[in-house]
Chain A
Amino acid sequence: MAAGFKTVEPLEYYRRFLKENCRPDGRELGEFRTTTVNIGSISTADGSALVKLGNTTVICGVKAEFAAPPTDAPDKGYVVPNVDLPPLCSSRFRSGPPGEEAQVASQFIADVIENSQIIQKEDLCISPGKLVWVLYCDLICLDYDGNILDACTFALLAALKNVQLPEVTINEETALAEVNLKKKSYLNIRTHPVATSFAVFDDTLLIVDPTGEEEHLATGTLTIVMDEEGKLCCLHKPGGSGLTGAKLQDCMSRAVTRHKEVKKLMDEVIKSMKPK
């Protein structure tokens, strides 16, 4: 009976739950789904992480390669993110060139990296003007159930923390780079940006961490990326219903608590990996 009502009138079905201040999967309006993270699962990548936010699954692999630096910034390396939403994660995506959603997500991750200064590009320089590292960060969604931006940001952060770069020296005589694979060092991660996404319902209600169905029924979305000092790296609100300043303030406080939760989770995982 309930399943029939849900198919015929999904919005009304949803509103019944929201009136009681909860959601069909039993969560409160401000509650996130269970987050799990697995670091270092891909052995062929220089750094990797798998993040699961409920059913939404995103895997991030980071590969480091050599490149010549740009002429206007000879001591800066590159960080190149790419978000891929393949047909296997959801029936709404078709195979072929990246669709609009994937491109927007890639641009979002690029903005977060740029704004938060998560890595100082100067740290990626090996020899100014000649050789720098370029980090290709590939984020692939394996299961799309809403809130892709939060999962991607978390996966990227975890993967970058896992990246180990070998020591490189330039041989003066041959002018070739010599890579010492035995001596590896971690990247210097300066800030920890964490994304918190909200969905707006009926122009008034704000719910945190929307699932795929909730995103479809929502009238607007908002994503806040915050670092540990409470500074905002990105306030991404692509249209949708309007929000007052007070509602924005509530979102900020929720984003602060979420940052603490994510930081704690990541510290635990990294600590459990260190002794190896």
Chain B
Amino acid sequence: MEEEMHTDAKIRAESGTGSSPRGPGCSLRHFACEQNLLSRPDGSASFLQGVAEKSRERLIRNTCEAVVLGTLHPRTSITVVLQVVSDAGSLLACCLNAACMALVDAGVPMRALFCGVTCALDSDGTLVLDPTSKQEKEARAVLTFALDSVERKLLMSSTKGLYSDTELQQCLAAAQAASQHVFRFYRESLQRRYSKS
């Protein structure tokens, strides 16, 4: 008997430059999440963050494969459909977050949660987390990391541009600190959802 689970994740991102203010103590833009908004699929989530392509698919797929406990569902196909509603920078990180939330909403057993964080390095070496499209274009290097929730290990990395080894370690440390905010947000949004129903 075959079971097919579809998880649809709609990503909504605010457009416009310098729109929502960044929260205190965190340089990530404001984000919100809504779950179970589509009735047909088994699970769905919408992730709103800040206002190529087989390669990107493969990165997201491999990250999901590393955390999903596939051995508990033999002969099963899990399809994750990501539809970009609008792109205001940090697209890959947003896709990763949406994919993770959708898998949680569908009830797929996973060994850890994961989140995506993007860092941009501009010409004088300043680090900007969660850059807008304009900041990404002007940056010297843009690094996207996927980190797991258990030990903040690096699951996936995709980088563009030239940077040094020390800058990489700085970005990784900043991304690990920022991922705490994302995971706390996951927890809060799930608590809100299950306390209502």
Interface residues of A (CB under 8 A from B): 100, 103-104, 107-108, 111, 114-117, 219-220, 227, 230-245, 248-249, 252
Contacts and interface: CB of A to CB of B under 8 A. Distances in A.
Interface in B162-196: 162-165, 168-169, 172-173
Interface in B144-166: 146-148, 151, 153-165
Nearest to B61: A239
Interface string B56-71: 0011011111100000
Contact of A243 (B62, B153, B165): B153
A103 B52 CA distance: 10
Nearest to B143: A235
Contacts of B39: none
A240 B62 contact: yes
B117 to A, nearest CB: 14
A116 B161 CA distance: 7
Given A232-B159, A234-B159, A244 B164 contact: no
B161 A115 contact: yes
A220 B66 contact: yes
A243 B154 contact: yes
Given A115-B162, A230-B165, A249-B169, A239 B55 contact: no
A137 to B, nearest CB: 18
B54 interface: yes
Across chains A and B, which 5 residue pairs bring their CB atoms closest together, nearest first? A239-B62, A242-B153, A239-B63, A107-B55, A237-B157
Nearest to A222: B157
Nearest to A249: B169
Contacts of B65: 239
Contacts of A249: 165, 169
B58 A100 contact: yes
A104 B58 contact: yes
A233 B140 CA distance: 11
Given A232-B168, A236-B158, 19 more contacts: A107-B52, A220-B66, A230-B165, A231-B164, A232-B164, A234-B159, A236-B159, A238-B59, A238-B156, A238-B158, A239-B61, A240-B62, A241-B155, A242-B147, A242-B151, A242-B154, A242-B155, A244-B151, A244-B153
A115 B172 CA distance: 19
A22 to B, nearest CB: 26
Most buried by A among B64, B65, B158: B158
Contacts of A232: 159, 162-165, 168
Contacts of B158: 235-238
Most buried by B among A111, A227, A242: A242
Contact of A248 (B59, B143, B154): B154
A18 B160 CA distance: 34
Interface in B52-100: 52, 54-55, 58-59, 61-66
A239 B61 CA distance: 8
B49 to A, nearest CB: 21
A239 B162 contact: no
A234 B146 CA distance: 16
Nearest to A102: B54
Contacts of A242: 66, 147-148, 151, 153-155
B64 to A, nearest CB: 7
B72 to A, nearest CB: 17
Given A220-B66, A244-B153, A103 B162 contact: no
Nearest to B57: A100
A40 B65 CA distance: 42
Contacts of A235: 143, 157-159, 168
Contacts of A100: 54, 58
A103 B55 contact: yes
A227 B147 CA distance: 26
A239 B156 contact: yes
Contact of B169 (A116, A220, A234, A245): A245
Contacts of B169: 245, 248-249
Given A104-B55, A117-B162, A245-B173, A239 B155 contact: yes
A236 B158 CA distance: 6
Contacts of B151: 242, 244
